[in-house]
Chain A
Amino acid sequence: MAYNQFDVPAQTVSYATGLKTAIGIKAATNVVLKLMEAMFSFDGSTSTATPAQCEFDQITFATNGPGTASTSVTPSKTDTGRGETIQATAAKTWTSQPTAITVQWPIAVAQYNGIYHYVNPFVSPFICIGGQGCGISINSSATVNFSGKLHAEE
C-alpha cells in the first residue's frame, strides 16, 4: 500500500476561547504518514476581533488519541475506487487536549473570515512516525466557527 491519499475534514465547528486541538491524525503502528497540506478558516463577523492564535503541532498521542475526548472522523480517500483502507485514525474537536504536543509552527489568523492554507513543498512533507501524529490547535479570542482539513498520504 502506498500513495493512498486522504483528507481529514472538520466543518463549521464552534469554538469558545481557550486552546483546543481542532483536527488531528494519528499514524497507525508501523505506518508512516506524510502530511502534505493543512488548511483552515474562520467565519467571524466582527472585524475588530483579535486574531486567533493557531498552531500546527506534532502530537505523540500518549493520551487522548483520536476518538478519546474527541469526535472520530472517517478520513476521505481522494481515490474512492481504491479498496485499501486508510490506516491512520483521525478526529476533531478535542474536549481535553491530547498529549504530548510540540509546536511545529504557530500563526495568528484573523477570526473575521480569516483563512490559512499551507501546502508543504513536494520535497519537504511533514512526516509522522508510526503511532504518532499531528494536528491543528486554535485559541480564539471569542466564540468562532472553524472549518478546515488536513491532507495526508500513507
Chain B
Amino acid sequence: MPTLVERAEALRARNRILESVPGSGFHDNDRDAHNRLAAPHRRHEVGGMSEGSRPVPRISENVVCFLTARQGFFAGPDAAKVLTALQAYHARQVNKRYRDLTGTEIKLLEEIPLLAIDCENLNDNLMVWLDTWNDYLHALDEQGIVVSCLPFVSDGVNP
C-alpha cells in the first residue's frame, strides 16, 4: 500500500500531466476567449486574466492534504512546508494591532503556535482539525500555498 508521501507525489505527477496538455486549463499557453493567459500560475502576468493579482503556484506544486471526516494530514515534505508557511504567517500577523485583526486572524494567532509535526506516525505528519480548516486555508492562501486534497483512505479513483 502506498504511503501518504507517495500518494501526494502521485497526485502531483497527475497534475504535471494536466499542465502538459494544451486546453486542459493548466497548460502554460492556455488562453481564454479574449486571448489572455488562463493557466492559474500565469494569470497574474502581463496579458493574464487577473493581471497584477497575487501569484499562485503551478498545480503540480500544490501541497496535498489527506482528509478524514474530522482531520486533515499533511505528510513528509508537505508537512514541513506547511508548518514553515504558517509560522511565517504568524510572524507577520503578530506585530499587527489587535484591533485591526479579523476574527480569523485572531484565531490563527492563537492556534498556529500549537501546531507541531508528529515524527512518530504517518511519515512525519502535520495534523489540523477540520473545524479550523478554512482558517488554515486562508493563512496558506496568504503565503502563496495552494492545497489539493485527497481522501485519507483512497477512493480508488484518485491516488
Contacts and interface: CB of A to CB of B under 8 A. Distances in A.
Interface of A: 11-12, 14-16, 28-29, 43-45, 62-69, 71-72, 74-75, 77, 79-89, 93, 95-96, 131, 142-145
Interface in B18-77: 18, 23-25, 30-34, 38, 40, 49-50, 59, 65, 67, 69-70
Contacts of B25: 14-16, 93, 95
Nearest to A142: B33
Nearest to B49: A12
A133 B157 CA distance: 20
Contacts of A16: 23, 25
A84 B65 CA distance: 22
B32 A72 contact: no
A72 B34 CA distance: 25
A13 B55 CA distance: 15
Given A28-B131, A29-B70, A80 B50 contact: no
Contact of A71 (B30, B33, B38, B40): B40
Nearest to B102: A80
A66 B72 CA distance: 13
B151 interface: yes
Which one of B40, B69, B131, B147 has the highest number of Cβ atoms from chain A below 10 Å of its Cβ?
Answer: B131
Given A14-B32, A145-B33, 16 more contacts: A12-B49, A15-B25, A16-B25, A28-B131, A44-B33, A45-B34, A64-B157, A64-B158, A67-B147, A67-B149, A68-B150, A77-B104, A87-B131, A89-B133, A89-B134, A145-B32
Given A28-B130, A77-B103, A83-B107, A66 B137 contact: no
B120 interface: no
A67 B65 contact: yes
19 contacts: A14-B25, A43-B33, A44-B33, A64-B158, A65-B67, A67-B65, A68-B150, A69-B158, A71-B59, A72-B137, A72-B148, A74-B137, A80-B104, A82-B103, A85-B132, A86-B134, A87-B130, A87-B134, A144-B33
Interface residues of B, number: 41
A39 B27 CA distance: 28
Which one of B65, B132, B146, B149 has the highest number of Cβ atoms from chain A below 10 Å of its Cβ?
Answer: B149
B57 to A, nearest CB: 12
A68 B33 contact: no
Contacts of B34: 43, 45, 145
Which one of A74, A88, A95, A142 has the highest number of Cβ atoms from chain B below 10 Å of its Cβ?
Answer: A74
Nearest to A12: B49
